[in-house]
Amino acid sequence: MLDTVLSGLDWATRFSDPLAWLVLAAFLATTALELTDRRERARQAGVAAWALFGVFWFSLIYHFAFVQKSVIEGAGTLVAVPASFYVGYLLWSGRDSLFVLSRAVLLMGVVFFPFESVPVLRQFLVETVTDQTALLISLIGSDPQLVTGYEAVVDGQSVVAYDGYIVGEKEHLYHNTFVFADGESPIFYTIIIACTGIGSMAIFAGLIAAVEAPLRRKLRAFAVSIPVIYALNLGRNVMIAVGFGEQRFHLFPELITSVFGLSDPRQVSYIVIDRIVAQSLSVVALVGVTYLVVRELPEVLTVVEDLLFVVTGTEYDLRTALDVPSASVDGDPEAGSEAGGSAGTRSDD
């Protein structure tokens, strides 16, 4: 029975890319209708968009939980499926502030998917991050080799190899693989699109662009989020590369090997440093960046409060709880009423 379920989830993964484009198209229609004051049509389109979004996340369960073996991303995907359908229900029921969240999802996709799907952009970003990671690794005294690899056919499947060894997770002939010497067989660490931080940067870019606020405060919010995320992500790459490549996190090997079904005991260091330590720290970092953003752009709290309501069923007043100043309308011609709520004053605007 379990094998049948896993096979079905694996089969669903192949539809994730076309579903992503359908989701973007549905959110684009929702946003266009909402901005042209056709609210009820927008509501119908939004419900369909969120339903498709739920199906999209369902198609990724197997990838995150069983291919990536990521506890945090796997759990997040499981939560995202019912949450997406629930957002659609709330939107249908009249929670119009969710139009802002819908617009944010569209803009997140507009930022992320070009780098995911356009080869030239993907290669540029991956190799740029790789080169910067390599520089930082050299500064701390480690010296792995940076290679491209070559195409090979193993058991009828096309793979990327280096010096006779298959390079795991490497799909493209980019200059993005670190090789650490380790006895008879090397350890490979490859920078892929997920290692560039573009996903997290797209989230904040979408949130900041989606709300109604003066341009100068949006630019300040960008300044305290995108560069910070990019820098922290480089540090994360260095930590994982060195921690895995030099086997510095070979902790609880029997437990980790059993829980994650590892065949190579050297993978224990990778699971511990990446899937457990780095991803946990990433959650903490994103919470911190969110706080910095809402200090500059309180309008974002509308979206955060909606997300908390979806997850908990409870209304929150985060502006009061976090002592965040209200948005400014102090004579600025760009300023307008805050999306989903009232606007106040702020002395530093």
Please list, in sequence order, all residues whose beta carbon lies within 8 angstroms of the beta carbon of residue 97, skipping any fewer than 6 positions away: 302, 306, 339, 340, 341
> 3-state DSSP helix/strand/coil percent for the chain, to nearest 5?
65, 5, 30
* CA gap 239, 281 in Å, rounded: 12
Select from 275, 223, 268, 278 the least CA-distant residue to 248: 268
Q: Determine phi and psi for 199, rounding to 5 degrees.
A: -65, -50
Query: Running DSSP on this structure, what letter comes out for residue 161?
Result: E
Is 236 part of the annotated catalytic residue set?
A: yes
3-state class of 331 per DSSP?
Answer: coil
Q: Exactly one of 103, 220, 236, 319 is catalytic; which is it?
A: 236
| Measured distance CA(102)–CA(342) in Å, rounded | 20
Catalytic residue among 103, 122, 195, 319: 195
Structure tokens at 250: 């070979």
Residue for token pair 């540090």: 235
Q: What does the CA dihedral 168, 169, 172, 178 come to, rounded to 10 degrees?
A: -60
Distance in angstroms (rounded) separating the CA atoms of residues 265 and 11 = 29
Report the distance separating Cα 259 and Cα 241, nearest Å.
22
Q: Which residues contact 172 (CB under 8 A, 6 or more apart)?
A: 119, 122, 123, 126, 160
Active site residue 103: no
Residue located via tokens 């390599």 = 134
Q: Could you give the CA distance from residue 253 to residue 265 in angstroms, rounded to a whole number? A: 7
Q: Which contiguous run of DSSP H or E holds residue 41?
A: helix 39-59
The pair of three-digit structure tokens given for residue 216, joined into one six-digit string = 């100068």
Q: Which residue numbers are catalytic?
A: 195, 236
